[in-house]
Amino acid sequence: MPSQLFDFLTRQHQGPWGRVLDAGTGVNSATWLAGLPTESLTLVTGSERHARQVLERVKLRPSDRLLVGNWADGGFLVGERFDTVVADYLVGAIEGFAPYFQEALFDRLAKLTAGRLYLVGLDPYVVQEPEVESGRLVWEIGRYRDACLLLAGEQPYREYPAEWVVGQLQHAGFTVSEARRFPIRYKARFVNAQIDMALMRVARLPNTKLAASLVDHGEALRARALNLADAEDGLRHGFDYVIVADRQGGAP
């Protein structure tokens, strides 16, 4: 998550953070939360690899815990309540671990939230072809990545627009007090990370001719995107969004 989003979330908070749940943790959100005056952190990820990355990069206290679990498991953290809940790109990412679970996710989070929920998401950007070249390149990269994941037998992320998320939160019993979009400028790091992710999956394909064609296409796409990102100081396309929501009883 860009630092401007972390800064925005920090400014939105008043009072103690208390017991905090990072419902879809990663190095970025865990690092941010570890620097706040919290009572305890419960960091949850569906990936053993992500868990190892967090443990390598973030110093946890005795009161903190890092759990590998799946929100589709109805018994996971059942009965627990947290003063502050953070869902950092969780709505899209959960598709890789519990496909089509997004609507049920909000009810799960509602049962865990005693005070405030901070949700960060990404507006879908692989649906309609943009007219501007920078946006079209981001769109092409996303569709190429998803195609490679599907061919390798994996599930791509499924992003949802902010308006849909607001409606789901309200349906689950939250009161939304703030919703804001932040424009994105994709740099070389994004381009290389997405293409490299796709190429790792392509290497597994049994059809070597198809794999070779996909490698060539990916590298050509990389070159086009890096050239334009360098010329325009990034590929401007789409939005991140932040939603602030409270359970009955108000914010912490």
Residue 96, C-beta contacts closer than 8 angstroms, at least 6 positions apart: 46, 154, 155, 156, 157
Residues 164-180 have pLDDT tens digits of 999 999 999 999 999 99
**CA torsion, points 123, 32, 234, 225, in degrees to nearest 10?**
-70
Alpha carbon distances (Å) from 187 to 20, 72, 93, 235: 31, 34, 21, 6
Residue 144, burial from CB neighbour count under 10 angstroms (0-12, 13-18, 19+): buried
Mean pLDDT score of the chain: 95
Contact 244, 176 (CB under 8 A): yes
d(CA 246, CA 178): 10
pLDDT band at 189 (very low <50, low <70, confident <90, very high): very high
Mean pLDDT of the 73-96 span: 96
CB contact set of 94 (below 8 Å; sequence gap of 6+) = 24, 46, 71, 101, 102, 105
Predicted confidence at residue 108, as pLDDT, reads 95
Which band of pLDDT confidence, cut at 50, 70 and 90, is reported for residue 190? Answer: very high
Q: Which residues have a Cβ under 8 Å from the Cβ of 194 and sit 6 or more positions away?
A: 141, 142, 145
The band of 250, judged by pLDDT with boundaries at 50, 70 and 90, is very low
The pLDDT of residue 2 is: 54
For residue 93, pLDDT beyond 90 = yes
pLDDT in tens, 9-56: 999 999 999 999 999 999 999 999 999 999 999 999 999 999 999 999
* 216 has pLDDT over 90: yes
- Residue 160: which pLDDT band, with cuts at 50, 70 and 90? very high
Q: Averaged over 87-102, what is the pLDDT?
A: 94
pLDDT of 252 above 60: no
Return the structure tokens found at 14: 């008043």
Q: Sign of dihedral through CA atoms 126, 128, 130, 133?
A: positive
CA 152 to chain CA mean position, Å:
21
Residue 249 is predicted with a pLDDT of 52
